[in-house]
């Protein structure tokens, strides 16, 4: 299912990749990154609408000349890997077909992020392909790099869990979290290619809007990941939309299990991420702008002497590290490439 | 010290008002509101810079034709009232001069907001006129309306305390707050007429930036007000700048002292604000856009069944209800006028 | 067809007004302005969708508690006036029904703006009610105040013609225009409550987008109005969308019929608008921000000594002076009220 | 004057480059591009302020770890090339010192853009080093590629001339321009790291502001370049600021010397730019968003049958193709590298 257009990047023999669901924001960016990638060959972009239209027409700035085609599940034999960018529940069957054809998959949906089927079904409804859950590896690269390297199916994290879990992991691992409130803010690209009151510039502009109050589906995902680090608790997670395009800040307010000093905190974070190419521990509060169009997560932790709480601020680009560049980071790991190839 | 330009609004015999410090965002808006006010006569706008320039040149959209003049403390005899919009410490001496001349004052600075001199000096440094503290009334109209009506000196609240205390007062009064995290977001006008990295559109735009981490001076102000309602505790307050002009959201995460149901919460807020002309209890999470260029505070409270916490979202326009229109609301109360005159 | 909710503004005996098509941006703002108007009674808001929903739910910041109802053409007897905010072609039949019931109408659509049926049909297609064209008066208040005062049907101008014709009228009347290029820029509210690629913040934001190249329907409207002033010519009109909400700038590049000096130009504009309450001739180039949420048009004219051309910049709020506040301005004139009532 | 920090990109033996004036927007981006460049070694960044501060602190998102140092004109012997990002008049002496030391220079200022000293001095004042003018080549890569390849001093074009001349060159060369109006719009980054009323988000946001009316210094630069193509005329050039960060649109309204059809126009542009890697002739009007953070210029030309005029829209990123990535494009050409290295 490959088109005959010369790709600037990859040479002969590179793994052949497709993006399934390339018409949304996440899939389109993934296609852009793979099209320019030096070590993957992007052989097709598929969609459920806009068939036959060059992706470059839908997203001129991404300059991917391939045309959107239907996913031909019979022609997957020559496909080595796929990024799947369908909504939850729609993703699972496509993932299954790709897995059956032998392709390694990074799935951007929520379908394989949760280890617990029961939790999934409470938050998302019936799971279309529950038997695949156990082969899935949670794709927060920094936490699960080794399993990702060997995985056939990687469940790419939600953007909020990416920012939140990277922020909290050092504290969670050390058993230091007694309670946590996460107040996250995100630009409008987080709403995706949806055309409605939440995305119209004359409504979303000049606005700050909390949404999905006390009901955000990223909550159980954060809780499962923290639990896996030894911190089993209910997490207060709340998101707001703010008027920018790409950018996400998770502001975490931790009640620690014991008093924590500034120096101890500094060391905890420095040690945790010293070897990580895409996590920066900053010396001042990060702005999300510092991460726009990059795969970086930028963290700042502070002890509040007045309240005894620990504050951690975690900035990412929700479409990049929060979604599509992290998917490529995972693909790089899965295929033994340099982790930053095509995204740094 | 009056200029001879006809004001659209007030007739003869109206109280004569000045705005001291009219060249900043807050003072300029106060001058705008008073210039159009049907029951006050704006007789002068003063400043420490831009002397002689018509305010309409500095702020064309406010259309106040008066020219900026130096404050003539000898000519205050005929001034009935003043809004003072100087920075903290600079405000107190001007307030004192106005009080000595018999003018009633609404002070926008922090100088008289805190009842405790010790607390003031810990956060702000030496107080220039501590002897005036005890005559000051805290100007959150909805909480202190009666004292404001009789006051000679009203300390207009900070914008964050306005949004936060209105959000938390019903819970605080009922003794229901065991712990609280306030994550506030604000547009760039909150930084005032400051020209720097935090306000340049190419730096503040497309950005989310936490600032004054664990050190915001509005913290003790919120704590004092909650304590006055019977809730004496350390408050976790944190603010972030987001890329819009006017708008502020205080997202409050309350650990309640006992389990609270949705219905009880609904009634608590409905009862607390049923008679308030400028507090709206909404049925869905408010956007700050719904309050832009108004004196409204728009609240939404929710019980999170998952965590047991109570969430309260409080939206205001930081320059209006958060500062200048609340100052006019207070002036209205002080002079026995309709509370919404000139601001509704 | 009136609802029983007390209106803050108008007393008994005030003309009874409806807004037909109140769910779009223009109609909703018109309803907001009339609801607060001291001398009109807003008795109903109608729509073709969202029936039964309070307008305040759709547009919280406008705070109009009336619910959207279907237009009951049989119950119009008690309606004195209407603002009609339907798309072109849909507007004309509603306007006709209102006129037959004796109501005076300000129509926001293009249906009655053009005097020439032939021109209308070339740009818009078949006209549903051509027989009404001749009774319509073009509602650019500053140019046609007397006819508006007596009119039963006022065709409210397009936003671009409002800014452009006010900019060019002094030159046109004096026979000074040999050729003109109008480059107009507008915020996203100009696209109305349309949910698509042009309004999504992640697409419209950080963008400058020329649209309807060489084909904008406001072109013939501008040409007809200039012709009526004695300037019969083809006008080059081009619009671009820029990332803000409300605001419009018409930048006019005039090749004059003879050399024009700065002083002559200054006097020409000063004289033309000296008596106009809502046209400001500025001494520096206006920003659209200076007109946001006002009925003002702010003009600046300059002679370019280098090229010999005359430049005129005209700033308005496209939703206010460009649409809804101008409609109220016209209603004020039609009912003999102060021209600025409810909009200044 | 090199620092000992490992650069991700260039290997040993790569040309050694410095950026002089790296603290402004243009210089900082140039440093970012060179730091990541595979074939240049960035050995120093210099400035006149912020000495000793890592550039990564001033511009975190650019991640250039080098510290700002004073330009050591004695230590230039080992420097092969420089990008100079000083204001006009300040640039020339630095350029001269670099040239004397044997370095090849791309100068971002206006100092060497104009061939005519007289024109320069009329618009900019006395020229500090007029003797260098004749060795300078105008750095619009697409027009002067061959001379640039051999040049010691390249005068990088202004951002407006870049967009405008690329838009008009095909028509100018064919003798088809009788008259032209250029209405350009630009994001706030065009104002640079200046902190004032024009850049404060609460003033620049929600605004459209024409500036330097009939007096923009890019006018003579455009005129000289068009004249060099055979089109000697006065150009009407006008710019406006619009509320975004990076993005620039030159909307060109050409009165042609003879009637031009759509097909002829299409071919003219297709032929002119068929071989250009960084000029895209689009089939629909471009949005500036399509060029953000790229070196592309995206053009669309249309014949207006109604007026007979020809419209050309030219979109670039003012900081990239308009300034810094074009500078690197020129450096690539000067050193015989792939023209898109490090910028595509």
- Beta-strand runs (E) in C40-111: 41-46, 68-69, 81-84, 104-107
Contacts (Cβ under 8 Å, ≥6 apart) of A196? C195
End-to-end CA distance of chain D: 29
pLDDT band at A74 (very low <50, low <70, confident <90, very high): confident
Q: Does D58 touch chain A (CB under 8 A)?
A: no
Contact list, D244 vs chain B (CB under 8 Å): 205
SS3 A6: coil
Which of these, A283, A332, C229, B17, lies nearest to D54 by C-alpha position?
A283
- Number of other CB atoms surrounding residue A246 within 10 Å: 27
- Number of other CB atoms surrounding residue A267 within 10 Å: 12
Contact list, B202 vs chain D (CB under 8 Å): 25, 187-189, 191, 199, 245-246
Minimum-distance CB partner of B202 among D197, D206, D245? D245
Q: Which chains touch D (3 or more CB pairs under 8 A)?
A: A, B, C
CB-defined contacts B:C, below 8 A: 24
pLDDT of residue A6: 73
How confident is the model over C258-266, as a mean pLDDT?
Answer: 96
- Number of other CB atoms surrounding residue A118 within 10 Å: 9
Contacts (Cβ under 8 Å, ≥6 apart) of D130? D117, D120
| Residues of C carrying an active site annotation | 159
Minimum-distance CB partner of B292 among C61, C287, C298? C61
Nearest-CA distance D110 → chain C (Å): 20
Contact list, C8 vs chain B (CB under 8 Å): 344
> Using N-to-C axis directions, what is the helix angle for C218-228 and C117-124, rounded to 10°?
160
Q: Does C263 touch chain B (CB under 8 A)?
A: no
> Using N-to-C axis directions, what is the helix angle for A262-273 and A159-173, rounded to 10°?
120
Q: Which chains touch B (3 or more CB pairs under 8 A)?
A: A, C, D
Residue with token string 């003794």: B175
Note the pLDDT tens digit of each residue in A317-339.
Answer: 999 999 999 999 999 999 999 99
Degrees, nearest 5: CA angle A243-A247-A252: 105
pLDDT of residue C280: 98
Cα separation of B21 and B25, whole Å? 9
Cα separation of C222 and C161, whole Å? 5
With 90 as the cut, is the pLDDT of residue A13 above it?
Answer: no
Q: Does D201 touch chain A (CB under 8 A)?
A: no
- Number of other CB atoms surrounding residue D150 within 10 Å: 9
Contact list, A298 vs chain D (CB under 8 Å): 60
pLDDT of residue D4: 56
Let me know how long chain C is: 344
pLDDT of residue A310: 98
Nearest-CA distance C192 → chain A (Å): 9
* Two structure tokens written together for B204: 């503040």
SS3 D60: helix
Which of these, B141, B48, B153, lies nearest to B95 by C-alpha position?
B153
Cα separation of A200 and A178, whole Å? 40
With 80 as the cut, is the pLDDT of residue D94 above it?
Answer: yes
Note the pLDDT tens digit of each residue in A33-55.
Answer: 999 999 999 999 999 999 999 99
Cα separation of C243 and D288, whole Å? 11
Nearest-CA distance C205 → chain B (Å): 10
CB distance A98 to A79 below 8 Å: yes
Which of A290, A313, A343 is best to mutate for the D interface (most D CBs within 10 A)? A290
Contact list, A239 vs chain B (CB under 8 Å): none
Cα separation of B75 and B73, whole Å? 6
* Two structure tokens written together for A53: 């239209």
Q: Is the dihedral of CA C292, C296, C297, C303 positive or negative?
A: negative
Give the residue from chain B lying closest to A234, CA to CA: B307
With 70 as the cut, is the pLDDT of residue A1 above it?
Answer: no
Contact list, C338 vs chain B (CB under 8 Å): none
Cα separation of C149 and C141, whole Å? 9
SS3 B329: helix
Minimum-distance CB partner of B60 among C206, C290, C344? C290
pLDDT band at C6 (very low <50, low <70, confident <90, very high): confident
Range B13-22 burial, b when 16+ CB lie within 10 A, else e: ebbbbbbbbb
Contacts (Cβ under 8 Å, ≥6 apart) of C325? C29, C33, C294, C295, C317, C343
CB distance A307 to B234 below 8 Å: yes
Minimum-distance CB partner of C61 among B60, B61, B290? B290
Cα separation of A294 and A321, whole Å? 7
Beta-strand relationship, D153-155 and D104-107? parallel
Q: What is the dihedral of CA C19, C20, C23, C28, to 10 degrees?
A: -20
Note the pLDDT tens digit of each residue in D121-153.
Answer: 999 999 999 999 999 999 999 999 999 999 999
How does DSSP classify residue C322?
I
DSSP A108-151: -SSTTT-S-HHHHHHHH-S-S-GGGGGGEEE--HHHHHHHHHH-
CB distance A45 to A21 below 8 Å: no
* Two structure tokens written together for B110: 């922090």
End-to-end CA distance of chain A: 29
Give residues 309 to 338 of B whose Cβ lies within 8 Å of A: 309, 311, 313, 315
How confident is the model over A136-143, as a mean pLDDT?
Answer: 98
pLDDT of residue C2: 52
**DSSP β-bridge partners for residue C153:** C105, C136
Which of these, A270, A272, A297, A278, lies nearest to A286 by C-alpha position?
A297
With 90 as the cut, is the pLDDT of residue A7 above it?
Answer: no
How confident is the model over D331-344, as a mean pLDDT?
Answer: 97
Nearest-CA distance D155 → chain A (Å): 28
Which of D181, D182, D313 is best to mutate for the C interface (most C CBs within 10 A)? D181
Bigger pLDDT: C12 or D39?
D39
Q: Which chains touch C (3 or more CB pairs under 8 A)?
A: A, B, D
Residue with token string 């002119």: D272
pLDDT of residue C8: 76
pLDDT band at D6 (very low <50, low <70, confident <90, very high): confident
Cα separation of B51 and B67, whole Å? 7
CB distance C60 to B290 below 8 Å: yes
Residue C98 exposed, middle or buried by CB count within 10 Å (0-12, 13-18, 19+): buried
Cα separation of B10 and B66, whole Å? 15
Beta-strand relationship, A16-20 and A41-46? parallel
Give the residue from chain B lying closest to C9, CA to CA: B344
Q: Which chains touch A (3 or more CB pairs under 8 A)?
A: B, C, D
Contacts (Cβ under 8 Å, ≥6 apart) of D176? D254, D256, D257, D258, D260, D310
Note the pLDDT tens digit of each residue in C154-169.
Answer: 999 999 999 999 999 9
End-to-end CA distance of chain C: 29
Q: Does B243 touch chain D (CB under 8 A)?
A: yes
With 80 as the cut, is the pLDDT of residue C333 above it?
Answer: yes
Range A12-23 burial, b when 16+ CB lie within 10 A, else e: eebbbbbbbbbb
Residue A159: active-site member? yes
Note the pLDDT tens digit of each residue in D48-72.
Answer: 999 999 999 999 999 999 999 999 8
Contact list, D243 vs chain B (CB under 8 Å): 201, 205
pLDDT band at D13 (very low <50, low <70, confident <90, very high): confident
How does DSSP classify residue D103?
-
Query: Would the CB atoms of D199 and B196 count as touching at under 8 Å?
Result: no
Q: What is the mean pLDDT of each run of 10 residues along chain B (344 residues)?
A: 65 90 98 97 96 97 97 90 96 97 97 97 96 97 98 98 98 98 98 95 97 94 98 98 98 98 97 98 97 98 97 98 98 98 95
Give the pTM: 0.97
* Two structure tokens written together for A287: 């702005």
pLDDT of residue B75: 85
Q: Does B60 touch chain C (CB under 8 A)?
A: yes
Cα separation of A53 and A68, whole Å? 6
For chain A, give the mean pLDDT.
Answer: 96
pLDDT of residue C74: 86
SS3 B291: helix
Half-sphere exposure of A91 (CA within 13 A, CB side): 28
pLDDT of residue C11: 65
Q: Which helix (H) or strand (E) holds B16?
A: strand B16-20
With 70 as the cut, is the pLDDT of residue A185 above it?
Answer: yes
Contacts (Cβ under 8 Å, ≥6 apart) of C337? C39, C331
């Amino acid at each position: 299912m490959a088109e005959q257009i010369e790709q600037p990047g990859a040479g002969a023999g590179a793994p052949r990749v497709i993006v399934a669901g390339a018409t949304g924001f996440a899939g389109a960016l993934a296609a852009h990154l793979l099209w320019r990638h030096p070590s993957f060959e992007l052989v097709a972009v598929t969609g459920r609408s806009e068939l036959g239209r060059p992706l470059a027409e839908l997203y001129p700035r991404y300059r991917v000349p391939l045309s959107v085609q239907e996913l031909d599940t019979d022609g997957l034999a020559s496909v080595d890997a796929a990024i799947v960018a369908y909504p939850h529940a729609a993703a699972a069957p496509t993932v299954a077909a790709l897995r059956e054809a032998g392709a390694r998959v990074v799935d951007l949906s929520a379908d394989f992020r949760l280890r617990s089927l029961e939790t999934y079904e409470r938050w998302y409804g019936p799971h279309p392909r529950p038997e695949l859950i156990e082969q899935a590896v949670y794709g927060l690269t920094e936490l699960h790099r080794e399993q990702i390297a060997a995985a056939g199916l990687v469940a790419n994290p939600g953007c909020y869990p990416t920012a939140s879990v990277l922020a909290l992991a050092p504290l969670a691992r050390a058993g230091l979290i007694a309670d946590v409130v996460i107040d996250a803010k995100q630009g409008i690209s987080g709403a995706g290619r949806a055309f409605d009151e939440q995305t119209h510039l004359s409504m979303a502009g000049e606005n700050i809007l909390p949404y999905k109050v006390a009901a955000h589906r990223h909550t159980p995902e954060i809780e499962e990941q923290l639990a896996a680090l030894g911190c089993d608790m209910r997490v207060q997670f709340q998101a707001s939309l703010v008027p920018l395009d790409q950018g996400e800040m998770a502001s975490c307010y931790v009640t620690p299990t014991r008093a924590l000093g500034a120096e101890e905190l500094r060391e905890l974070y420095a040690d945790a991420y010293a070897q990580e190419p895409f996590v920066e521990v900053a010396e001042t509060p990060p702005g999300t702008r510092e991460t726009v169009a990059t795969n970086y997560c930028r963290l700042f932790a502070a002890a509040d002497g007045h309240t005894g709480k620990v504050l951690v601020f975690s900035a990412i680009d929700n479409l990049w590290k929060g979604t599509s560049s992290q998917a490529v980071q995972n693909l790089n790991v899965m295929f033994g490439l340099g982790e930053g190839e095509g995204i740094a």
